A and B are shown apart, each in its own frame.
Chain A
């Protein structure tokens, strides 16, 4: 039976659910963000993609903040003897940066919406209006935050790829370890 909280050797159910919901949304969101730029010649589709991207972004931000709090106030399982000290250090660093990026990328996106002179309200899934951040509004400010958002997102995409490759490597080359740490347990 898997516990809700993390144990010394395994991630708990809450960590696993948060990890995979943020992971799937985050990967989908990177694709969605890229599509908003692909369809710049179709303004209606682009507008709708932007609004969906904003809605998913606020959902990720909420989940990522819960996940950050959960990780700060809970324990992390030990990586075990399968990884070297350097690997453990790199993994821990990468996990922390990824966790912060899942908060920082949507925050930068929120900053774009807040700094844009277009002032398009953030109406999350047509349910809740999220107010703008108190930031200067101008074309230049919007462009600035757009660059920050894009670079953080592409950086996160790269790190997600490395993270996924490392997890698969450990799963297939070194047996049932780190990837299984995040997958439902089968006995």
Chain B
């Protein structure tokens, strides 16, 4: 019986002690979860037009990752690459115009990327994410609002919104008939790695 008691005591001590042992990579890693962004994520956008109505469309995800630091959300990060060549508005002629050198110029710039530089929690499950958006060869700091949607097994999803001006990226064609502001509405699906 004495042996059992000792064993239990040691096990209990280890159990209590281990979470606070510093500089233990195996344990520190537990706080940060890595996710690969699923191409099934939806990157929706709309550009309002002067007469009411808007151009609505989506841009496919090429790749991306995010890291969630559950203990310190501010140390979370995200990077994502979009393929504007696959832009879809439901009107093939508008798609062709968006792919052309009038807008995305996908032959020269096949990718749009965003890399976060700063995450500021705005609540227990939401954050303001600032980062570098690169489109058509130009990089600018832009800000998005992210809110946790759901976690299902090894999948986690976020609803992300943000308004991006297109003039600074050399994509100002059609202003003011079509708004300078592109409003993004995204559902990012992460698969835990």
B158-177 contacts to A (CB < 8 Å): 173-174, 176-177
Q: Which residue of B lies closest to A47 (CB)?
A: B173
Given A123-B176, A123-B177, CB of A118 within 8 Å of CB of B93: yes
- Contact of A121 (CB < 8 Å), options: B50, B93, B102: B50
Let me know if B91 is at the binding interface, CB within 8 A: yes
The answer on a CB contact under 8 Å between B100 and A43 is yes
Given A121-B51, A123-B50, A129-B50, CB of A51 within 8 Å of CB of B177: yes
Let me know if A120 is at the binding interface, CB within 8 A: yes
Let me know if B69 is at the binding interface, CB within 8 A: no
Let me know if B53 is at the binding interface, CB within 8 A: yes
The answer on a CB contact under 8 Å between A118 and B91 is yes
- Contact of B49 (CB < 8 Å), options: A43, A47, A51, A121: A121
Bound Cα distance from A81 to B53, whole angstroms: 60
Bound Cα distance from A51 to B50, whole angstroms: 13
Q: Which residue of B lies closest to A120 (CB)?
A: B177
Interfacial residues, chain A to chain B (CB-CB below 8 A): 43-44, 47-48, 51, 117-121, 123, 126, 129, 131
- Contact of A131 (CB < 8 Å), options: B51, B91, B176, B177: B51
B123-180 contacts to A (CB < 8 Å): 173-174, 176-177
Residues of B within 8 Å of A131, CB to CB, are 51
Given A43-B97, A47-B173, A47-B174, CB of A119 within 8 Å of CB of B102: no
Q: Smallest CB–CB gap between A120 and chain B, Å?
A: 7
Residues of B within 8 Å of A129, CB to CB, are 50-51
Q: Smallest CB–CB gap between A102 and chain B, Å?
A: 26
Let me know if B11 is at the binding interface, CB within 8 A: no
Q: Which residue of A lies closest to B172 (CB)?
A: A44
Q: Smallest CB–CB gap between B193 and chain A, Å?
A: 41
Let me know if B94 is at the binding interface, CB within 8 A: yes
Residues of B within 8 Å of A126, CB to CB, are 176-177
Q: Which residue of A lies closest to B100 (CB)?
A: A43
Residues of A within 8 Å of B177, CB to CB, are 51, 120-121, 123, 126
B74-100 contacts to A (CB < 8 Å): 91, 93-94, 97, 100
